[in-house]
Chains A and B, each alone.
Chain A
Amino acid sequence: MKILICMSNVPDTTTKIRFKDGNTALDTTGVQWIINPWDELALTRALQLKEEPGSGVEKVTVITVGLADAEPTIRKALAIGADDAIRINSQATDAYDVARQIAEAVNNEGYDLILCGIESSDYNNSMVGGMISEFLDIPSVSSVSSVTVDSGRFKIKREIDGGKETLSVTAPFLAVVQKGIALEPRIPSMRGIMMARTKPLKVIEPVTSEVLVEHIRYELPPSKAKCRMVAEDNVRELVQLLHTEAKVI
């Protein structure tokens, strides 16, 4: 069995966000790039499955849509333990484009399970997974918090309103994974790091794709109001502040 991880190359979560070109684009100067945290957890789970005796998982591949500057992030995934990687040589424009490029690249490649993080930590669209499954005409399962495999069948746990449901799914299918899929990302071993460059990283050219989204403007959230401390026994002042300043009561 083969597992594919769709991976996004995103700014480190502690990045101080700045915009350029009249607030229409992210200023990437000095930005550290990382594996999208949800995708990193998906990769972790895939590697755990591969290591489980009898799981039948033989290979874990990562795929990303991005230019050559995304390769350090791809090699981090190889260092962590992915067997090989595919980079679609294109600057990702929108979710439709990313999904289409990935679907074109992996159609007929025989992946049994495709894992996508629930969202990328930069654009938070949560769309790519569902779109890929549509393009490939395979089932998709959303909000997945657990994937196990038993004699060729995958058992999925997913979050539903007020509880969880367990499903049995036959490959091939796509799972959009979220919290719980793995406890924490793996730290790459030193050997993994040194070997990352020796693992296959296939670069393929993109198909022509229609750009459906144009970014008109970005803006930062308003800065947080200063915290006011009220003495614990001064309920009167607290109520007054909530009424006159915060205007919530």
Chain B
Amino acid sequence: MDFAFTEEQRMIQQAARDFAERELIMDVIGRDTRAEFPYDHVKNLRELGFFGMMVSPAYGGIGMDTVGYCMAIEEFSKIDASVGVLLAVHNSLACGGIEKFGNDFQKEKYLPWLASGEKIGAFLLSEPEAGSDASRQKTLAEDKGDHYLLNGTKNWISSANSGSVYITIAQTYPELGHRGINAFIIDKDSPGISLGPHEDKMGMRSSDTHSVMFTDVKVPKENRIGEDGFGFKFAMKMLEVGRIGIAAQATGIAAGALERSLKYAQERKAFGKLLIDHQAIAFKLADMAVKVENSRNLVYKAAWLKDQGQSFGMASSMAKQYAADIAMEVTTEAVQIHGGYGYVKEYHVERLMRDAKVTQIYEGTSEIQKIVISRGLVKG
């Protein structure tokens, strides 16, 4: 048993923290208010190598482990959870999906673009009528011999506008159910792709979320990931990985709210003494700290299992469900500790509370995680 981080992991954490505290903090409230994608910061994030964190250096990536990646996502999310989700989806689903399951042609063509951040990746699974029930894909990918023809709509797609490499899940053989589903790498500029308006969301407002419409979009055969019919398994495998990153993001949201609350409680007085000297507030902070620590440990455990090449599906669902649920609890308490100040934007915690909510929803709701976990318990 060893809880020590490597020198590299600590440096990654510090670098991400410095970047978030120095750069991302600037105008984070404005970006949230205007629902504006952090284009200004993407350039620096690219140069620092945060777009290819886990990609092998052979394809232009950094080759860091999953633990280091989680530390970076947590640090970004303490300040700006929208940057957290941008990098989580890009690194774990787009880069990770192509590197793990793509063929040599796909890896050589797409990974250098993605690892440098020249192109941003998006993951297109959810549909208007297929969210948690992901096997009911209505988007059709008809086999036309030398290409596939895609028609349908994808919903709530993160980085749909900023992104240009779409990892897309669609149904080729409806009669086969989930066994008929395929996964494709699709260039956003392919004719027939159009975007719905930027979704006006509760939180994560500077993540550019849109619906994506496919109308007779031709996708070359060579862009299918894996064997014919591998798509559903691919999506499920990728979500196992993706959930670790979202759990790290949710942990970051909670940790950010805790840090701000602790600072505030040591500055603000009520009834003649500091908030921290009121046991009602001190105990809240203690409870929040325990939750954040538990959450972080679940994230690191899942990441560590993945890095060791062991099975991590249960661990990633546990981390994701717990981190998302406590992110909601901790941020709600953070607003409570801040009182009236917590309810206005200037103090950040109301934004963290709004951002926290979606972590219980995307990449598998908390309820879906409990299905995965309980089935895992039965399977043993």
Q: Which residues of A contact B (CB under 8 A)?
A: 72, 75-76, 79, 184, 187-191, 193-194, 196-197
Q: Is B134 an interface residue (CB 8 A)?
A: no
Query: Which residue of chain B has its CB nearest to the CB of A191?
Result: B49
Select one of A75, A76, A190, A197 contacting B64, CB under 8 A. A190
Q: Known contacts A189-B48, A190-B15, A193-B12: does B22 contact A184 (CB below 8 Å)?
A: yes
Write out the residue numbers on chain B whose beta carbons fall within 8 Å of the beta carbon of A76.
11
Q: How far is the CB of B51 from chain A (nearest CB, A)?
A: 9
A189-B47, A190-B48, A194-B64 given; 18 more Cβ-contact pairs under 8 Å: A72-B7, A75-B7, A76-B11, A184-B22, A187-B18, A187-B22, A189-B48, A189-B49, A190-B12, A190-B49, A190-B50, A190-B64, A191-B49, A193-B12, A193-B64, A194-B57, A196-B8, A196-B11
Write out the residue numbers on chain B whose beta carbons fall within 8 Å of the beta carbon of A189.
15, 47-49
Contact status B11-A79, CB under 8 Å: yes
Q: Is B53 an interface residue (CB 8 A)?
A: yes
Complex Cα distance A187/B63, Å?
A: 18
- The interface size bin for chain B is 10 to 19
Select one of B10, B18, B47, B62 contacting A194, CB under 8 A. B62
Q: Known contacts A184-B22, A187-B19: does B48 contact A194 (CB below 8 Å)?
A: no
Query: Which residue of chain A has its CB nearest to the CB of B11?
Result: A193
Complex Cα distance A189/B52, Å?
A: 12
Contact status A187-B64, CB under 8 Å: no
Q: How far is the CB of A152 from chain B (nearest CB, A)?
A: 30
Complex Cα distance A206/B22, Å?
A: 39
Complex Cα distance A167/B64, Å?
A: 46
Write out the residue numbers on chain A whose beta carbons fall within 8 Å of the beta carbon of B50.
190
Write out the residue numbers on chain A whose beta carbons fall within 8 Å of the beta carbon of B57.
194
Select one of A72, A75, A188 contacting B15, CB under 8 A. A188
Contact status A193-B15, CB under 8 Å: yes
Contact status A194-B19, CB under 8 Å: no
Complex Cα distance A184/B10, Å?
A: 20
Write out the residue numbers on chain A whose beta carbons fall within 8 Å of the beta carbon of B7.
72, 75
Q: How far is the CB of A208 from chain B (nearest CB, A)?
A: 32
Complex Cα distance A184/B15, Å?
A: 13
Complex Cα distance A196/B18, Å?
A: 19
Q: Mind listing 27 A-B residue pairs with CB under 8 Å?
A: A72-B10, A75-B7, A76-B11, A79-B11, A187-B15, A187-B18, A187-B19, A187-B22, A187-B48, A188-B11, A188-B15, A189-B15, A189-B48, A189-B49, A190-B12, A190-B48, A190-B62, A190-B64, A191-B49, A193-B8, A193-B11, A193-B64, A194-B8, A194-B57, A194-B63, A194-B64, A197-B8
Q: How far is the CB of B78 from chain A (nearest CB, A)?
A: 16
Query: Which residue of chain B has its CB nearest to the CB of A34?
Result: B14
Complex Cα distance A128/B12, Å?
A: 31
Complex Cα distance A194/B47, Å?
A: 14
Complex Cα distance A104/B18, Å?
A: 36
Q: How far is the CB of B65 from chain A (nearest CB, A)?
A: 10
Complex Cα distance A72/B6, Å?
A: 10
Write out the residue numbers on chain B whose beta carbons fall within 8 Å of the beta carbon of A187.
15, 18-19, 22, 48
Complex Cα distance A188/B17, Å?
A: 12
Interface centre among B22, B48, B63 (most CB of A within 10 A): B48
**B1-26 CB contact bits vs A (8 Å, 1 = yes)?**
00000011011100100110010000
Complex Cα distance A145/B63, Å?
A: 38
Complex Cα distance A184/B19, Å?
A: 12
Complex Cα distance A130/B47, Å?
A: 37
Q: How far is the CB of B263 from chain A (nearest CB, A)?
A: 13
5 closest cross-chain pairs (CB), A and B: A190-B49, A190-B62, A193-B11, A189-B48, A189-B49
Write out the residue numbers on chain B whose beta carbons fall within 8 Å of the beta carbon of A72.
7, 10
Write out the residue numbers on chain B whose beta carbons fall within 8 Å of the beta carbon of A79.
11
Q: How far is the CB of B225 from chain A (nearest CB, A)?
A: 26
Write out the residue numbers on chain A whose beta carbons fall within 8 Å of the beta carbon of B64.
190, 193-194
Complex Cα distance A214/B57, Å?
A: 50
Interface centre among A75, A189, A191 (most CB of B within 10 A): A191
Q: How far is the CB of B73 from chain A (nearest CB, A)?
A: 13
Complex Cα distance A187/B15, Å?
A: 6
Write out the residue numbers on chain B whose beta carbons fall within 8 Å of the beta carbon of A193.
8, 11-12, 15, 64
Write out the residue numbers on chain B whose beta carbons fall within 8 Å of the beta carbon of A75.
7, 11
Write out the residue numbers on chain A whose beta carbons fall within 8 Å of the beta carbon of B62.
190-191, 194
Complex Cα distance A200/B141, Å?
A: 53
Write out the residue numbers on chain B whose beta carbons fall within 8 Å of the beta carbon of A196.
8, 11
Complex Cα distance A189/B53, Å?
A: 11
Complex Cα distance A188/B47, Å?
A: 10
**B297-313 CB contact bits vs A (8 Å, 1 = yes)?**
00000000000000000
Q: How far is the CB of B180 from chain A (nearest CB, A)?
A: 40
Chain B 18-57 residues near chain A, CB threshold 8 A: 18-19, 22, 47-50, 53, 57
Query: Which residue of chain A has its CB nearest to the CB of B52?
Result: A190
Complex Cα distance A248/B63, Å?
A: 62
Write out the residue numbers on chain A whose beta carbons fall within 8 Å of the beta carbon of B63.
194
Complex Cα distance A79/B9, Å?
A: 12
Q: How far is the CB of B233 from chain A (nearest CB, A)?
A: 31
Complex Cα distance A75/B48, Å?
A: 17
Complex Cα distance A194/B12, Å?
A: 9
Interface centre among B11, B19, B50, B64 (most CB of A within 10 A): B11
Q: How far is the CB of A215 from chain B (nearest CB, A)?
A: 30
Write out the residue numbers on chain B whose beta carbons fall within 8 Å of the beta carbon of A197.
8
Write out the residue numbers on chain A whose beta carbons fall within 8 Å of the beta carbon of B49.
189-191
Interface centre among B7, B18, B53, B64 (most CB of A within 10 A): B7
